[in-house]
Structure 1
Amino acid sequence: MTSLSCITSSISVTSSQSSSTPLFASVSGNPHYFLNFSSSSRSKRGGFKCSYAAGSGVKDDSRVGTIDVVADVKAERQIVVLGGSGFVGSAICKAAVSKGIEVISLSRSGRPSYSEPWVDQVNWVTGDVFYANWDEVLVGATAVVSTIGGFGSEEQMQRINGEANVVAIHSAKEYGIPKFILISVHDYNLPSFMLSTGYFTGKRKAEAELLSKYPNSGVVLRPGFIYGKRKIDGYEIPLELIGEPLEKFLSAVQNFTKPLNTLPASDLVLAPPLSVNDLAFAAINAVTDDDFFGVFTIDQIKEAASSIKA
């Protein structure tokens, strides 16, 4: 068996499923091959031709062969969505896929039961943030988006909205993830006794931890009521039938309602609803724009979404 060694050669492989960033590598073997690259999340297949140094005495050979190479093929952007199978999380996963971003979802329910084309392009990992195998989800990621949150008893809300997000923030920082986006909640002008409940104190605890650990790259998105098509136990609940008309109405009369914004709890009625798609694309804007960081209100979220949706 005769083998030919490339004196100087490189390979440029582009994934059709994610980034257009090429992978370069040195190889030995016949001058023409089809090359299979496999990583933990996907396989790559590409063609290459060896270029030989002048005077090497090696002639080009048109023979075609196939070899398999195990390699880490890193997308230009790879995000981890915590709670990716939920209402907001799935919208973020879908938006990321539409922008060619590689996505890993970590959630207790794993892969969603419904079938849509984008679902097959997400790496669905089943797990709990408190007991996660972070090597499986964080290695190679360029950003983490957390949609973790929920209601329950005081203790449960503190744990879900606060402690779970704090654990995720610490883990992302330890793994050197450069950016973290937290889906929080609108700063309602509620009475202090309502803001002291576990839901709000948990969210604010997570915000404070994020801005402390990621002062120049942490993103806090504060939506109010979020509407869209929400799937629960296989049934689709069209929240947009309520949210979309209300959003349009409040936007039309906001100049008249602004003086009322200082009244206690007025935001419960006057804070405009937000489309889940707008929230998702604002999160993707945060992922792709290194200058995007800080705390964002409902209006700022809409603005951020509009600049990237097209």
Structure 2
Amino acid sequence: MKVAIVGGNGFLGSAITKAAVGRGWEVSSISQSGRPFRTPSGHTPKWTDEVKWTSANVFDQNTYSDVIKQSDAVVHTIGILLESDYKNGPLDALKGLIAGRENPNPLTGGLYERLNRDAAIRVADVYRNTRTTQEDNPFVYISAADIFRPLIPSRYISTKREAEEYLKRLDGIRDISLRPGLMYHPHTRPISTIPATMIDILNKLPKPFINGLDADSNLQSVQNLLHTSALHIDTVGAAALEAILDKSQSGDVNVDDIKRLAWKS
């Protein structure tokens, strides 16, 4: 199996890349820097030697179409949680999430659309256009569960859903949209364990389930949070690879199904 992982040196992308290498797959990572994954301490793990690391701009297909063309499957992991903290790192992002601030600059209002939606659409189009047969063509998109409103702008989840809908309508690929909630790893991103622990505690508390809420309401998102467990990135990574192998798997994949897929690996 040859797989291209867009954002393969990132937080989740590196977990998927490592898992694919562990299965003996031929793995290519596409990212802006093209640099191999490094741990927070600056260490480059041995498994990175087995990956083809490619520097590319996802909005310029000439920089990566050859990699996509040679791949049997694609996993797209690029996305942002907070526009105002783009490229500032996970600590600033978590601070912003806790503070609940909106994007302070209305002139930069296109990052959600560009990175959460348009990037995935562009890569999926390239993947579809490079297919030469009608065989199985799995495209895994890392979407998200709707659990963060009103702490972050609704456009975070709406742009994810718009990307999902586009992929469903795209002929020639098997679309798979994973919808994890909060993801964590105690070593590569230690701070992520704090909200993950809080969410798991909330999940275990007895609480009512209110039926009939408007799906677009903030209250529905809060209710989702109270019933959605946090996931280790290795769990999501394993699920992504199992979804590629399972030809019956397509469409939206919620947290419970992500766990089910991961347990199969």
Give the TM-score normalised by the residue count of structure 1: 0.65
Residues 16 and 240 in structure 2, CA contact (< 8 A), matched pair in contact too: yes
Residues 199 and 226 in structure 2, CA contact (< 8 A), matched pair in contact too: no
Give the Cα–Cα distance (whole angstroms) in 2 for the partners of residues 240 and 207 of structure 1: 26
Give the Cα–Cα distance (whole angstroms) in 2 for the partners of residues 211 and 230 of structure 1: 35
* Displacement after TM superposition at 1:268 (Å): 3.7
Matched, 1:134 2:64: yes
Range with greater deviation from structure 2 (241-250 or 123-132)? 241-250
Which residue, 8, 12, 16 being the options, matches 1:88?
A: 12
Which residue pairs with 2:52 in the alignment? 123
Give the Cα–Cα distance (whole angstroms) in 2 for the partners of residues 215 and 269 of structure 1: 37
Letter in 2 for 1:89: G
Matched, 1:201 2:131: no
Which residue pairs with 1:228 in the alignment? 185
Structure 2 counterparts to residues 175-186 of structure 1, below 5 A: 175-176=130-131, 178-186=137-145
More relative contact order, 1 or 2 (CA 8 Å, 6+ apart): 2
Which residue pairs with 2:78 in the alignment? 148
Which residue pairs with 1:38 in the alignment? none
Which residue pairs with 1:36 in the alignment? none
Matched residue of 1:207: which SS? helix
Which residue, 109, 112, 127 being the options, matches 2:33?
A: 109
Matched, 1:238 2:238: no
Which residue pairs with 1:259 in the alignment? 209
Which residue pairs with 1:165 in the alignment? 120
The size of the alignment, in residue pairs, is 222
Give the Cα–Cα distance (whole angstroms) in 2 for the partners of residues 252 and 271 of structure 1: 10
Residues 7 and 30 in structure 2, CA contact (< 8 A), matched pair in contact too: yes
Larger Rg: 1
Residues 246 and 272 in structure 1, CA contact (< 8 A), matched pair in contact too: no
Which residue pairs with 1:13 in the alignment? none
- C-alpha spacing 1:247/1:187, structure 2 compared with 1 (3 Å): closer
Letter in 1 for 2:253: F
* Displacement after TM superposition at 1:270 (Å): 4.2
Give the TM-score normalised by the residue count of structure 2: 0.75
* Displacement after TM superposition at 1:278 (Å): 0.5
Matched residue of 1:138: which SS? helix
Letter in 2 for 1:164: A
Matched, 1:249 2:201: yes
- C-alpha spacing 1:258/1:144, structure 2 compared with 1 (3 Å): farther
Give the Cα–Cα distance (whole angstroms) in 2 for the partners of residues 134 and 291 of structure 1: 28
- C-alpha spacing 1:91/1:214, structure 2 compared with 1 (3 Å): farther
Which residue pairs with 2:251 in the alignment? 294
Letter in 2 for 1:117: K
4+ residue segments displaced more than 3 Å: 188-191, 243-253, 260-264
Identity, % of aligned positions: 31
Give the Cα–Cα distance (whole angstroms) in 2 for the partners of residues 208 and 187 of structure 1: 15
- Pick the structure with more helix per residue: 2
Matched, 1:217 2:174: yes
Residues 158 and 201 in structure 1, CA contact (< 8 A), matched pair in contact too: no
Letter in 2 for 1:257: K
Structure 2 counterparts to residues 6-155 of structure 1, below 5 A: 77-111=1-35, 112-113=37-38, 114-132=43-61, 133-150=63-80, 151-152=82-83, 153-155=108-110
Letter in 2 for 1:155: G
The CA RMSD measured in Å over matched residues stands at: 2.5
* Displacement after TM superposition at 1:211 (Å): 0.9
Residues 145 and 254 in structure 2, CA contact (< 8 A), matched pair in contact too: yes
Give the Cα–Cα distance (whole angstroms) in 2 for the partners of residues 284 and 80 of structure 1: 12
Letter in 2 for 1:160: L
Letter in 1 for 2:77: T
Matched residue of 2:110: which SS? helix
Matched residue of 1:223: which SS? coil
Listed one character per residue, the Cα deviations across residues 82-127 of structure 1 (whole Å, up to 9, x for unaligned) are 0111001000000111111111000012123431111111100011
Letter in 2 for 1:204: R
Residues 162 and 206 in structure 1, CA contact (< 8 A), matched pair in contact too: yes
